[in-house]
């Protein structure tokens, strides 16, 4: 990078993060008049009242010193949980309507007719919402300081807990901003933002609970050692503030790991929102796709490493198809389980697949068919790049897991893993093909995306309760029954031959995908012929 | 200088704009005329870089809208046919926000805000909330917003819609003043007589096709090459018509009504004076003699069919 371009980069980033006009305008509005003072006052009164109530409960009884210490710790935890609740409620609520309201007010056009990048605008929005939430946290400092004074927590605990709460607020703000960009109406933006907040808390609390139970039964970590994700829950910040993760023999405080994860999540959400606000082929969509590939590769290495820690049983070497049937009949359980984990972890693809596979019109935005498979377009967000991107994503996921396993126990995963990787790829290629098929009706982009999601529910989610009602849960593929026809059968099975079934299912799914793709491409070609153009001329 | 080169926009099967080309120079006030759905707004949005053209481009002072949109945005002010105003924001704060995103240095902003408020006659409303302004004032505020960064090109999409006659007259004067300041102004409007008043160039668009482009007088002349006189007389119109055809400068004369004779005329002022004098001399009882000059509305109606995309 030359000094000139470095200076430009510094200048442009400084304008994004320091003195951002969007932040300043929003902040002026947020703090205008007596409304904000009243809200802050009310918030403090509630916080103080609850603290008094909890402390009163503690102080009114005569306790031993040990019990009193426990109660004071509980008091400090309660105050922090209250702040966690505030963050979970305020951050999404404050951000959910920011973009969707601008779109309704039609002021987005005014902003984007100025020399403003989506990054500048979105970072400004995040900062204005985040700053308000952070003010609420700072306002609560006297109450949390009380728990330090009376001995429930140390200053270090409180500061780290504040750091964790801030990061959680940042994640929820970024989620809400993404929802606000996707949603067409403010009400749906609010609903989706709170749904995302609820889902995040549910996952974070579940992970923290699993860890707590593990600790209770003595099977999970020693001392302060804990996986980094325990710090993700806003309701246990004080309890997890001192936890550390051992990496390469060094203990890394978990708040540092969580800080990195929070910033990455925030970046992904902002890139997603930026891609939605910028025209196809914009640098935001390229950045988003590139980041997705890099992160999924890193995540896959982490998963592979975690599943195959140093010293676990060696895997069956060899990747040739001839060894598959033999190997799956053998006891290559680790590779089988890694394959099933790969398939399961690919589940979130359904969230972004409709955005990758479908084409059509969305108001003035044009996602018009420009071919089925074009590697140069893999990152530009056009329909022709969808399939190469999906393939690259899945390939990096599988290779990353294999490399992770290699780093963990020094051996590559065997053919059963790759049989499941093939099945996973075929499964998602089928849904990609279905996305192309529903788009070939040219009923609009949103309709196509909704139809693809509905098809996923219909083919993947609904059969499970239906088959359970009809035959009970009988996932053994060796037994005859309707479960053998279920698209997720190889994934849910515990049979020793499930890798072979994964291969067979994969081949069938791929064949169906190819047929569906051929039909949809034929429909698209006919439609374009009616309109008097080829798919290439539409770009 | 703005050069629009073969600008085209397709939405699937629909061609909204069919390869429009024109050139405007500083000081030009260009009236963009067309029915609803003719492609005016699409063209303006493409020039403003908000919409990606399917083909063609536009170059503003050397900056291409496709290759260098950020540079183009720095040089243009876009005023859509809606206000897009923020609630709970004061007039100066609204302008300060746009001055900031147009990268006006912080120290210069108060001065810039004061000057655009003065230009748009909104100085007294500096501390008012934008939602408390009248429609005309909001429209002027939008124009002030477009001017904070001193743009070379102004794109005004239906700026006079919904304004009362006084506000419209004020806006017209303001746009004329901007033209005198050397800015290129593109105004789309339905109110044709008003456009003719202050636009030195007009373009008529229908179904995405630019049917006519040039100075108003030239376009009128193109569509009506001869001058036309409407002569009212009490009787003997048929014989007057025959007589008129023999007079110098008269290319054709037809009876247009019970008392009206329409004369197509190619002569000079002497011939015009002689025409009237001769008709009276011949005993025709003339009650009125006036030139029927075509205006922009006539041109528009004659060129367009009313078809929309």
* DSSP-derived secondary structure for A38-56: HHHHHHHHHHHHHHHHHHH
Quickly state the pLDDT bin for A475 (edges 50, 70, 90): low
Least confident of A76-90, A480-494, B255-269: A480-494
Q: What proportion of chain A, given as a percentage, has pLDDT over 90?
A: 33
What would the mean pLDDT of A506-510 be, rounded to a whole number?
94
Q: What is the pLDDT of residue A366?
A: 60
Is B35 inside any structural domain?
Answer: yes
Q: What is the CATH number of the domain that holds B244?
A: 3.30.70.100
A244 in the same domain as A331:
no
Q: What is the pLDDT of residue B207?
A: 87
User: B11, A361: Cβ pair inside 8 Å?
Assistant: yes
Q: What is the pLDDT of residue B183?
A: 92
Is B300 inside any structural domain?
Answer: no
Helix A155-182 crosses helix A186-216 at what angle (to 10 degrees)? 140
Is A73 inside any structural domain?
Answer: yes
DSSP A404-430: HHHHHHS----HHHHHHHHHHHHHHHH
Q: What proportion of chain B, given as a percentage, has pLDDT over 90?
A: 35
B255 in the same domain as B213:
no
Of B13, B50, B103, the CB nearest to A115: B103
Say how far apart CA A209 and CA A48 lie, in whole Å.
29
**Phi, psi at A266, each rounded to 5°:** -60, -40
User: B73, A24: Cβ pair inside 8 Å?
Assistant: no
Give the single-character DSSP code of A225.
B
Is A389 inside any structural domain?
Answer: yes
Give tens-digit pLDDT for A374-401: 888 888 888 889 999 999 999 999 999 9
Which of residues A231, A252, A268 is at a domain's end?
A268
Is A301 inside any structural domain?
Answer: no
B49 in the same domain as B144:
yes
B201 touches chain A (CB under 8 A): no
Is B308 inside any structural domain?
Answer: no
B149 in the same domain as B200:
yes
CA distance B70 to chain A (A): 5
Under 8 Å CB pairs connecting chains A and B tally to 78
Least confident of A28-42, A157-171, A481-495, B149-163: A481-495
User: B100, A21: Cβ pair inside 8 Å?
Assistant: yes
Q: What is the pLDDT of residue B249?
A: 87
Residue A123 domain boundaries: 11-268
Give tens-digit pLDDT for A432-472: 999 999 998 877 888 898 999 999 999 988 887 777 777 76
Of B12, B45, B71, the CB nearest to A531: B12
- How far CA B273 is from CA of A220, A498, B23, B226, in Å, comes to 110, 105, 41, 17
Of A106, A113, A361, the CB nearest to B49: A113
Is A410 inside any structural domain?
Answer: yes
B145 touches chain A (CB under 8 A): yes
ipTM of the complex: 0.81
Which of residues B222, B249, B279 is at a domain's end?
B222
Is B309 inside any structural domain?
Answer: no
Of B71, B76, B89, the CB nearest to A25: B89
Picking from B195, B189, B175, the residue whose alpha carbon sits closest to that of residue B77 is B175
What would the mean pLDDT of A121-144 be, rounded to a whole number?
91
B106 in the same domain as B204:
yes
B211 in the same domain as B254:
no
Q: What is the CATH number of the domain that holds B87?
A: 3.40.50.300
B134 in the same domain as B188:
yes
A334 in the same domain as A252:
no
List of chain A residues whose C-beta atoms are within 8 Å of the C-beta of residue B98: 110, 114
Which chain B residue shows the shortest CA-CA distance from A109?
B50
Give tens-digit pLDDT for A241-254: 888 887 767 888 99
CA distance A24 to chain B (A): 8
Which of residues A268, A284, A306 is at a domain's end?
A268
Q: What is the mean pLDDT of chain A?
A: 83
Give tens-digit pLDDT for A147-172: 888 777 788 889 999 999 999 999 99
Q: Which residue has the tokens 């804990």?
A: A226
A214 in the same domain as A113:
yes
B143 in the same domain as B231:
no
Query: What's the structural domain count of chain A?
Result: 2
**pLDDT exceeds 50 at position A314:** no
Quickly state the pLDDT bin for A473 (edges 50, 70, 90): low
Least confident of A135-144, A512-521, A523-532: A523-532
Pairing of strands B2-11, B55-60: antiparallel
B102 touches chain A (CB under 8 A): yes
Q: Which two tokens mark A337? A: 């389980």
Residue B12 gets the label, from left (phi > 0), alpha (psi -120 to 50) or beta, of left
Query: What's the structural domain count of chain B?
Result: 2
Give tens-digit pLDDT for A69-124: 777 788 888 888 989 999 999 999 999 999 999 888 888 889 989 998 888 999 99
A341 in the same domain as A249:
no
B254 in the same domain as B209:
no
Is B304 inside any structural domain?
Answer: no
Mutate: best of B85, B96, B101, B145, partner A, most A CBs <10 A? B101
B211 in the same domain as B116:
yes
Picking from A261, A258, A287, A259, the residue whose alpha carbon sits closest to that of residue A272 is A287
A261 in the same domain as A328:
no
Pairing of strands B153-157, B184-189: parallel
Widest CA span in chain A: 87
B277 in the same domain as B137:
no
Which of residues A230, A249, A268 is at a domain's end?
A268
Residue B285 domain boundaries: 226-293
Quickly state the pLDDT bin for A317 (edges 50, 70, 90): very low
Q: What is the pLDDT of residue A496?
A: 74
A337 in the same domain as A261:
no
B171 in the same domain as B267:
no
Long-range contact pairs involving B102-110 (C-beta distance under 8 Å, separation at least 24):
B102/A114, B102/A115, B102/B74, B102/B148, B102/B149, B103/A15, B103/A115, B103/B74, B103/B149, B104/B148, B104/B149, B106/A19
Is B302 inside any structural domain?
Answer: no
Say how far apart CA A529 and CA A516 lie, in whole Å.
20
Which chain A residue shows the shortest CA-CA distance from B154?
A113
B67 in the same domain as B110:
yes
């Amino acid at each position: 990078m030359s000094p000139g371009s470095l200076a430009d980069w510094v200048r442009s980033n400084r304008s994004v993060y320091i003195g951002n006009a969007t932040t300043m305008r929003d902040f002026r509005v947020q703090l205008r008049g007596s409304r904000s003072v009243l809200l802050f006052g009310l918030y403090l009164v509630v916080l103080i009242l609850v603290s008094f109530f909890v402390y009163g409960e503690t102080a009114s009884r005569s306790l031993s010193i040990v019990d009193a210490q426990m109660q004071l710790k509980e008091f400090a935890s309660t105050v922090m949980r209250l702040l966690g609740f505030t963050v979970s409620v305020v951050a999404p609520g404050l951000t959910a309507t920011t973009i969707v309201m601008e779109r309704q007010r039609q002021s987005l056009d005014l902003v984007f007719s100025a020399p403003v990048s989506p990054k500048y605008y979105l970072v400004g929005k995040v900062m204005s919402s985040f700053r308000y939430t952070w003010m609420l946290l700072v306002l609560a400092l006297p109450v949390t300081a009380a728990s330090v004074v009376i001995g429930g927590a140390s200053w270090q605990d409180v500061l780290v807990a504040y750091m964790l709460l801030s990061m959680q607020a940042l994640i929820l703000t970024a989620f809400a901003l993404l929802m606000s960009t996707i949603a067409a109406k403010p009400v749906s933006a609010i609903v989706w933002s709170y749904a995302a907040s609820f889902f995040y808390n549910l996952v974070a609390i579940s992970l923290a609970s699993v860890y707590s139970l593990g600790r209770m039964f003595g099977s999970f970590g020693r001392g302060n050692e804990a996986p980094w994700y325990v710090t993700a829950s806003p309701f246990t910040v004080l309890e997890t503030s001192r936890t550390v993760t051992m990496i390469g023999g060094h203990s890394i405080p978990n708040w540092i790991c969580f800080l990195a994860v929070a910033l990455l999540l925030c970046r992904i959400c902002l890139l997603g929102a930026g891609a939605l606000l910028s025209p196809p082929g914009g640098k935001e969509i390229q950045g988003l796709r590139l980041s997705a590939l890099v992160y999924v590769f890193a995540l896959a290495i982490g998963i592979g490493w975690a599943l195959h820690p140093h010293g676990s049983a060696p895997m069956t070497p060899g990747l040739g198809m001839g060894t598959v049937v033999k190997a799956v009949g053998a006891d290559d359980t680790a590779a089988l389980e890694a394959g099933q984990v790969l398939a399961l972890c690919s589940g979130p693809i359904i969230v972004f697949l409709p955005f990758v596979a479908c084409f059509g019109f969305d108001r003035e935005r044009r996602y018009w068919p420009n071919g089925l498979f074009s590697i140069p377009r893999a990152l530009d967000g056009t329909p022709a790049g969808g399939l190469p991107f999906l393939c690259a994503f899945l390939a990096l996921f599988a290779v990353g897991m294999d490399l992770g396993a290699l780093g963990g126990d020094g051996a590559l995963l065997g053919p059963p893993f790759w049989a499941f990787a093939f099945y996973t790829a075929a499964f998602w290629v089928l849904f990609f093909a279905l996305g192309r098929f529903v788009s070939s009706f040219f009923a609009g982009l949103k309709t196509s995306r909704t139809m693809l999601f509905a098809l996923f529910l219909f083919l993947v989610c609904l059969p499970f309760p239906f088959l359970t009602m009809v035959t009970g849960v009988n996932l053994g593929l060796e037994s005859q029954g309707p479960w053998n026809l279920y698209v997720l059968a190889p994934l849910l099975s515990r049979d020793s031959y499930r890798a072979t079934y994964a291969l067979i299912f994969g081949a069938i799914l791929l064949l169906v995908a190819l047929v569906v793709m051929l039909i949809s491409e034929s429909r698209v070609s006919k439609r374009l012929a009616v309109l008097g153009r080829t798919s290439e001329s539409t770009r | 200088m703005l050069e629009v080169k073969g600008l085209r926009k397709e939405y699937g099967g629909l061609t909204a704009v069919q390869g429009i080309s024109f050139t405007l120079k500083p000081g030009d006030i260009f009236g963009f005329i067309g029915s609803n759905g003719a492609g005016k707004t699409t063209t303006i949005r493409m020039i403003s870089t908000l919409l990606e053209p399917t083909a063609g481009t536009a170059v503003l002072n050397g900056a291409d809208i496709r290759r260098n949109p950020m540079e183009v945005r720095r040089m243009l002010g876009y005023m859509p046919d809606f206000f897009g105003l923020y609630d709970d924001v004061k007039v100066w704060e609204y302008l300060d926000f746009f001055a900031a995103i147009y990268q006006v240095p912080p120290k210069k902003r108060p001065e810039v805000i004061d000057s655009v408020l003065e230009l748009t006659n909104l100085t007294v409303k500096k501390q008012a909330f934008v939602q408390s302004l009248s429609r005309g004032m909001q429209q002027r505020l939008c124009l002030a917003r477009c001017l904070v960064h001193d743009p070379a090109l102004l794109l005004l999409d239906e700026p006079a819609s919904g304004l009362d006659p006084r506000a419209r007259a004020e806006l017209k004067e303001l746009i004329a003043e901007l033209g005198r300041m050397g800015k290129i102004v593109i105004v789309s409007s339905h109110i044709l007589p008003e456009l003719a008043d202050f636009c030195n160039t007009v373009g008529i668009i229908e179904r995405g096709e630019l049917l006519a482009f040039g100075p108003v007088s030239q376009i009128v002349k193109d569509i009506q090459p001869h001058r036309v006189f409407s002569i009212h007389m009490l009787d003997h119109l048929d014989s007057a018509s025959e007589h008129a055809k023999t007079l110098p400068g008269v290319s054709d004369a037809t009876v247009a009504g019970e008392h009206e004779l329409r004369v197509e005329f190619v002569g000079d002022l002497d011939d015009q004076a002689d025409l009237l004098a001769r008709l009276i001399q011949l005993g025709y009882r003339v009650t009125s003699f006036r030139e029927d000059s075509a205006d922009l509305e006539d041109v528009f109606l004659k060129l367009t069919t009313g078809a929309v995309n």
